[in-house]
Amino acid sequence: MIEVKNIKKSFDGVEILKGISTTFEKGKTSLVIGQSGSGKTVFLKSLLGLFTPEEGSIFFDGKEYEKLSTAEKRHLRTEMGMVFQGSALFDSMTVSENVMFPLRMFTNQSVSEMQDRVDFVLKRVNLVDAHHKFPAETSGGMQKRVAIARAIVMNPKYLFCDEPNSGLDPKTAIVIDNLIQEITDEYNITTVINTHDMNSVMEIGEKIVFLKDGYKAWEGTNKEIFKTNNESVSDFVYSSDLFKKVRQVYLRELEG
C-alpha cells in the first residue's frame, strides 16, 4: 500500500503539485488521469523517488520514504517495477537480455537461475518464442509485454506504468491493460498507472485519481465516474461524444 500525504513539488518557484493526498492499495490497479500538464508524470516520478517533494510524505507499506536510510531507499527501489512510456527497451539487447537486465544489476543469481526467472515471466506475459529477438524485430504490443516482463522480473511490491497504452491500437491496448490488472491481482502488487486512455478508465479503473492543475480534483472508481456531478471530471472524461453516449446508456440502465 502507498499513502501519499499532502505532497507539494515546485520547479523554479512554480508549484506543480499543490498538496496531493491519496492512497493506493495492494492488489489494486489505480489510475492517475488528468489533462496534459496536470502533473501526472511529476506525481509518478515523486512516488518513484526521482523527484523529492518539498512538503508532504509518501509511505510505502507504513514506511516513510524520506526517513529511510540510503541503503533502505536503495532496497525499496528494487521493490519497484516501472513500465516507461514507449517501453524503453535496450535496442542492442535481445528480449531475454532486456528482461534479465535488472537481475544482473541487482542480484547475485547464477545465469541458470536468472534464465529460469526470465523464462517464467516471459511465459507469464504470453511471450514464448521471442527470447532471441531484438526489440526492432517485435511489434509495439510485444514490446509492451517485454517491458512488463522486465518490470515484474524482480517480483516487485509496487508497479508504476507511465502511459502503458501509448502507440497501441485499441484492441492491443485492452489486452495490455488486462495483463497489468491480472498480474497486479495475482502477485498482490500495488499498481499505479498514468493514463490518458478513457478505455482504460472504464475497463480497469478500480481506483481513479483525477489531477487538475496540480490538485487532486476527484477520486473514485470507474463505476462512480459515470455518476459524478463533478464538472471538471465530466469535462475531461466526457469530452468525446462516444463516452457521453456510453454514460447516458449506463445511467439509463441504472434508473431502469
Which residues of the chain form contacts with ligand ATP (CB under 6 A)? 11, 16, 34, 36-42
Which of 40, 145 has the CB closer to ligand ATP?
40
Supply the minimum distance, in Å, between the C-beta of residue 49 and ligand ATP: 15
Which of 37, 155 has the CB closer to ligand ATP?
37
- One-character DSSP codes across 72-102: HHHHHHHTEEEE-TT----TTS-HHHHHHHH
Which of 19, 27 has the CB closer to ligand ATP?
19
Region of residue 7 (left: phi > 0; alpha: psi -120 to 50; beta: else): beta
Supply the minimum distance, in Å, between the C-beta of residue 205 and ligand ATP: 17
Distance of CA 178 to the CA centre of its chain: 13
Which of 162, 177 has the CB closer to ligand ATP?
162
Torsion angle of C-alpha atoms 9, 55, 78, 154, degrees rounded to 10: -70
Supply the minimum distance, in Å, between the C-beta of residue 177 and ligand ATP: 17
- Rounded to whole angstroms, how far apart are CA atoms 23 and 2? 6
Supply the minimum distance, in Å, between the C-beta of residue 135 and ligand ATP: 23
